Amino acid sequence: MMRRAFITLALLSPAAAAQSTLPYRDATLPVERRVQDLLSRMTLQEKVGQMTQIDTARLMGRDEWDRGPLNPEWMKRVLADQHVGSLLSGGGVAPIPNTPSAWAEMTNTLQRFALEHSRLGIPILYGADAVHGHNNVVGAPIFPHNLGLAATFDPSLVESIGVVTANALRATGVTWNFAPDADLGVDPRWGRFYETWGDLPELAAAMVAASVRGQQGDFGPQNVATTLKHFVGYGAPQGGKDRADAIIADADLRSSHLPPFEAGLKAGALSVMVNSGSVNGVPAHASAALLTKLLRQDLGFTGVTISDWEDVKKLQTVHKVAASYRDAVKMALTAGVDVSMVPHDAEGFTSLVLDLVKSGDVPQARIDEAAGRVLAMKFRLGLFERPYVDASGAAAAVGAGRDLAAKAARASITLLANDGVLPLGRSGRRVLIVGERARDPRSQLGGWTIGWQGMPANEDTPSVTVLDGMKATLPKGAALAFSNDVPSAPNADVIVVVVGEPPHAEGDADNPTLGLPSSDVDLLRSAVRSGKKVVAVLLSGRPVVLPDDVRTKLSGLVMAYLPGSEGGRAIADVLYGNTNPSGRLPFTWPSGAARSGAMYSLGFGLSYTTFTESTPTVDKGVLNVTVSNTGKIAGTRTVLAFGRANNRDTLAAFGKVTLAPGETRRVTLPLLAGTPANSEYRTVR
């Protein structure tokens, strides 16, 4: 810590040093006073720069598509001439080479340039989408995507992941994380379903709050600003099509879609990202009803609102509610957008804002309001005191957390079917593992990993594949073989088929049929036709619909979600019985794309042992239930208690208990906030 402090002081720019005696430089003063003092010294153009975010790709090479070293000419145009207050690495934008130290050196270079060209010594914020660990950097552990974490029903685990993620981000100079996702996962056909916490508002709320607490902490040197996204209703697009209009009744919006955002705001989230789509026909970026009335006035949010990628301009080009880019900027600012993720043409955006103010179409007070919120975030993060990072410590910080990632993946895995074939762990059993996904880490990492649409074919980040994990976990006396397809397999006792979806993100990941790729279905069919016992392992960020001629003939079905870089370790531990599965579905698994019936109900999940639970009782805000392990092996029971009142079910309490064979324990769980007092309670058995 002393070394980092020395580096920070040594690298202070001359402009910053000259201003060190001014009130906004005094870290002992309240943030609000520092903001007002700094605003009083800024020009209009400097304030507008704080409202502008540019992709670092614009500063690399010759244009926004040229990936090369930082270009001093473009750094001058963006950071000096336009006074841009924040940069981001869009999906796949990284230094060359993509290493932790290179990230730290890149952000230090950009920060130093910004400070040296700011007459008031204002540092920049640096943003990234670290949605399952520091997933942009080669070498970072990749945690399960949110849907898998939701299956753990363990907020403390999510908070721990938040701590690790924030430490890795801050060590590389990234101070603004565009996470956690607070969208409710309403339609599994939607391409971003795996980024959600499922369709339980109460669970999503608990997980979002935990993530915010873990990442933001007390705003120390290892914390980052979080972003609740995407406000609001983004998770309910019509037909499951990304960015389609969401038709949501006000009562449903408030009871289902708002709770995760409310919980994140109560946990102290510093920023909110706006829904790229529209709600009831009105683009969210142009909706004062959502961004000012609901978010600011009703929920009391005082932090920064930021657009998603190019979404201010899309009011003109996509939604077509603005006649010009100028009108689009006016709409967004008036509705309540503080920062525009432009992301390439800084001058194009800032010139329009300046013109709108000078013409009187946007009041100066609105600019002061937006810029002041951005400055407040910078003060809270300590950027004026600690603008730089120690590049020599980046690799250790980024590489930390692999055991935690494996723990999370183990806790997420959900056993959906088992005729006794699992666990595989007895000596002498011969297992054939089938499918290219068993040895391709991309399928278990998912989207938003190194690249936007998943890890590019020419990239590699340390991962344990399913095949790697099975080999490392193989019991003494057992046999394991691998094949890309299903041969006659005369020597195999069990065939484990690893199937799933290729990595995708956003609209490219929409799946209107909920089906697997045809090649994966063919692989399963070949396996079940062999006459052997078949276990299917699903690497998927959503429920998938398996043909009846496949599903009904499976001996075992394991939902592994998108388990991340340590997924192979976790899957092998579950298959071989080193881990007794405890994951439970955080959504209803539909029987078909029409979602007219349930194949597996919300909260479903099997174990290698058996449990009984008493009827829950409630006293003074605490739910009590007695849980018994009636099986022959130890196991962890994820207790889910629902309350029913006013013809509506709500998740009232949840928690975990680990029991030895034959052990009985009384479990006491606090009722979740908002549980109706007149509820009738039940647990999911």
Residue in 126, 157, 580, 656 with CA at minimum distance from that of residue 401: 157
Distance CA 641, CA 667 (A): 11
Q: Write the DSSP assignment of 202-244 as a string of letters.
A: HHHHHHHHHHHHHHHTTS-TT--B-EEEEETTTT--GGG-TT-
Nearest to 643 by CA among 664, 658, 621: 621
Q: Kindly report the backbone phi and psi dihedral angles of residue 559, in degrees, each rounded to the nearest multiple of 5, phi listed first.
A: -95, 110
Among the listed residues 245, 308, 390, 520, the single catalytic one is: 308
Cα–Cα distance, 260 to 188 (Å, whole number):
18
* Interatomic CA distance for residues 668 and 536, integer angstroms: 36
First to last CA, the chain: 50
Distances (CA, A) of 541 to 164, 383, 587, 664: 23, 36, 12, 35
DSSP letter (8 states) at residue 606: B
> If you search the block for the tokens 């309670």, which residue do you land on?
681
Burial of 251 (0-12, 13-18, 19+ CB in 10 A): exposed
Spatial separation of the C-alpha atoms in residues 627 and 644, rounded to whole Å: 21
Give the span between the Cα atoms of 150 and 545, in whole angstroms: 21
DSSP letters, 100-142, are HHHHHHHHHHHHHHHHHT-TT-PPPEEEE--SSSSTTSTTSPP
What is the distance between the alpha carbons of residues 431 and 586, in angstroms, rounded to a whole number?
Answer: 31
Reply yes or no on whether 55 is catalytic.
Answer: no
Counts of helices then strands in the chain (DSSP H, E): 23, 25
For 349, the enclosing helix (H) or strand (E) is helix 346-358
Q: Are 56 and 87 in contact (CB under 8 A)?
A: yes
Phi and psi torsions of 661, nearest 5°? -55, 130
Which residues, 6+ apart, have CB-to-CB distance to 382 below 8 Å? Answer: 27, 219, 220, 221
How far is CA 534 from each of CA 481, 529, 682, rounded to the nearest angstrom?
A: 14, 10, 35
Structure tokens at 283: 């683009």
CA-based nearest residue to 129, from 36, 192, 219, 61: 192
Tell which residue, 276, 535, 573, 583, has the closest CA to residue 421: 535
Catalytic residues: 308
